[in-house]
Amino acid sequence: MRQSLEELIELHQKSLYAAAFSVCRNIDDANDAVQDTFIQYYTSKKQFHDGEHLKAWLLRVAINRAKDISGSFWKRNRISIEDCTNELPFENREEHALFEEVMKLPEKYREVIHLYYYEDLSAKEIARILRITEGSVKMRLSRGRSFLRDVLKEEES
């Protein structure tokens, strides 16, 4: 199964951007990762079983590309997360505060939290995308939730 690039961009650009942003925490880097993902799809001859297989592949490529970008020399020269979150639209203050706390999590927890809650993927799908075991996904979700719970309790006090 192959879809046109235009259809893919329409269907997946926002979710790929959100996944990439959760890794690199930089607007420009996330956009670069998404663009590189679509270029890789366009130049690839890979066939996909169905739409879920294609989406999982796109997410894996976007996350891996975001990790590559984050590990580069330019990582040291990017703007802070606070500057970025001020540019993103949120429905309310609580949503903005929660997003900021999620973005402060260590990368391995931030990735699974994002994919589970924002992309609505199952633990099995996340395991396939990140190439880790389903048990590891569940453990990271549990620990990520625990970190968030602790931080949010401290803020309420």
38-80 pLDDT tens trace: 999 999 888 888 888 899 999 999 999 998 888 765 555 555 5
Q: What residue spans define the domains of the chain?
A: 1-88, 91-157
Sign of the CA dihedral with 39 first, then 40, 43, and 45 last? negative
End-to-end CA distance of the chain: 53
Fold of the domain spanning 1-88: Rna Polymerase Sigma Factor; Chain: A (1.10.1740)
Alpha helix positions (H), the chain: 5-24, 27-43, 51-70, 81-85, 93-104, 107-113, 123-130, 134-156
Q: What is the CA radius of gyration of the chain?
A: 16
Q: Does domain 91-157 have CATH number 1.10.287.3610?
A: no
Q: Is the pLDDT of residue 147 over 60?
A: yes
